Structure 1
Amino acid sequence: MSSFVLVDRPVPEVAVVTLNRPDRMNAMAFDVMVPVRDALVELSNDNSVRAVVLTGAGEGFCSGADQENAGRAPHVEGLGRPGFGLRSLELLEDVVLALRRLHQPVIAAVNGAAIGGGLCLALACDLRIASSTAYFRAAGINNGLTASELGLSFLLPRAVGSTRAADIMLTGRDVGAEEAERIGLVSRVEDPVVDAAVEMGQRIAGFSQPGIELTKRSLHAGMAASSLESYMPSEGLGQLYLRLLTDNFEEATAARKQGRAPQFRDGR
Structure 2
Amino acid sequence: MEAPVKSLTATYETLLLDEPRPGVVVIILNRPARSNAMTNMMFAELERAAEAFDGEDDCRVVILTGAGTAFCAGYDLADADELAGLGALGMLDQQERAARALLAVRSLRVPVIAAVNGAAAGGGLSLALAADIRIASPTARFNAAFVRIGLSAGDLGTSWLLTRLIGPAHASEICFTGRLVAAHEAARLGLVNSVSDELLDDAITLAGQIVRNSPGGVQLSKRALQANLEVSSYAAALELENRGQALLTRGADMAEALSAFKENRPAVFTGR
Q: Tell me the TM-score normalised to structure 2 length.
A: 0.90
Looking at structure 1, the residues matched to 86 and 77 of structure 2 have their Cα atoms a distance apart, in angstroms, of 20
What percent identity do the matched residue pairs reach? 41
After TM superposition, give the deviation of residue 45 of structure 1 in Å. 0.9
Looking at structure 1, the residues matched to 244 and 218 of structure 2 have their Cα atoms a distance apart, in angstroms, of 11
Looking at structure 2, the residues matched to 156 and 83 of structure 1 have their Cα atoms a distance apart, in angstroms, of 27
Aligned match for 2:193, one of 182, 187, 191: 187
After TM superposition, give the deviation of residue 72 of structure 1 in Å. 8.7
Aligned residue in 2 for 1:81 = 87
Contact map agreement 2:15 2:28 (CA 8 A) in 1? yes
Runs (4+) of structure 1 moved beyond 4 Å? 70-73
Aligned match for 1:161, one of 136, 161, 167: 167
After TM superposition, give the deviation of residue 250 of structure 1 in Å. 3.8
Looking at structure 1, the residues matched to 167 and 120 of structure 2 have their Cα atoms a distance apart, in angstroms, of 19
Looking at structure 2, the residues matched to 35 and 231 of structure 1 have their Cα atoms a distance apart, in angstroms, of 34
Residue by residue, what CA displacement relative to the aligned partner does 1:28-77 show, whole Å, maximum 9, x if unpaired? 1112221122111111112111000111111110001111136999xxxx
Which letter maps to 1:28? M
Aligned residue in 1 for 2:119 = 113
- Return closer, same or farther for 1:13/1:140 CA change in 2, 3 Å cut-off: same
Looking at structure 2, the residues matched to 206 and 259 of structure 1 have their Cα atoms a distance apart, in angstroms, of 16
Aligned residue in 1 for 2:134 = 128
Aligned match for 1:176, one of 182, 187, 197: 182
> Is it true that 1:249 corresponds to 2:254 in the alignment?
yes
Q: Secondary structure at the match of 1:59?
A: coil
Matched residues, number: 261
- Return closer, same or farther for 1:51/1:29 CA change in 2, 3 Å cut-off: same
Aligned residue in 1 for 2:217 = 211
In structure 1, stretches of 5+ residues that fail to align are: 74-78
Q: Secondary structure at the match of 1:223?
A: coil
Residue by residue, what CA displacement relative to the aligned partner does 1:169-213 show, whole Å, maximum 9, x if unpaired? 112111111111111111111122122112111111111111111
Aligned residue in 1 for 2:236 = 230
Contact map agreement 1:20 1:56 (CA 8 A) in 2? yes
Looking at structure 1, the residues matched to 206 and 161 of structure 2 have their Cα atoms a distance apart, in angstroms, of 22
Q: Secondary structure at the match of 1:114?
A: strand
Aligned residue in 2 for 1:98 = 104
Residue by residue, what CA displacement relative to the aligned partner does 1:128-185 show, whole Å, maximum 9, x if unpaired? 1111110110001122222221111111011111111112111211111111111111
Looking at structure 2, the residues matched to 258 and 72 of structure 1 have their Cα atoms a distance apart, in angstroms, of 64
Looking at structure 2, the residues matched to 257 and 82 of structure 1 have their Cα atoms a distance apart, in angstroms, of 63
Aligned residue in 2 for 1:62 = 72
Looking at structure 1, the residues matched to 210 and 127 of structure 2 have their Cα atoms a distance apart, in angstroms, of 21
After TM superposition, give the deviation of residue 254 of structure 1 in Å. 3.5
Looking at structure 2, the residues matched to 134 and 255 of structure 1 have their Cα atoms a distance apart, in angstroms, of 41
Q: Secondary structure at the match of 2:154?
A: coil
Contact map agreement 1:129 1:187 (CA 8 A) in 2? yes
Q: Tell me the TM-score normalised to structure 1 length.
A: 0.91
In structure 2, stretches of 5+ residues that fail to align are: 1-10
Contact map agreement 2:46 2:105 (CA 8 A) in 1? no
Contact map agreement 1:30 1:72 (CA 8 A) in 2? no
Aligned residue in 1 for 2:7 = none
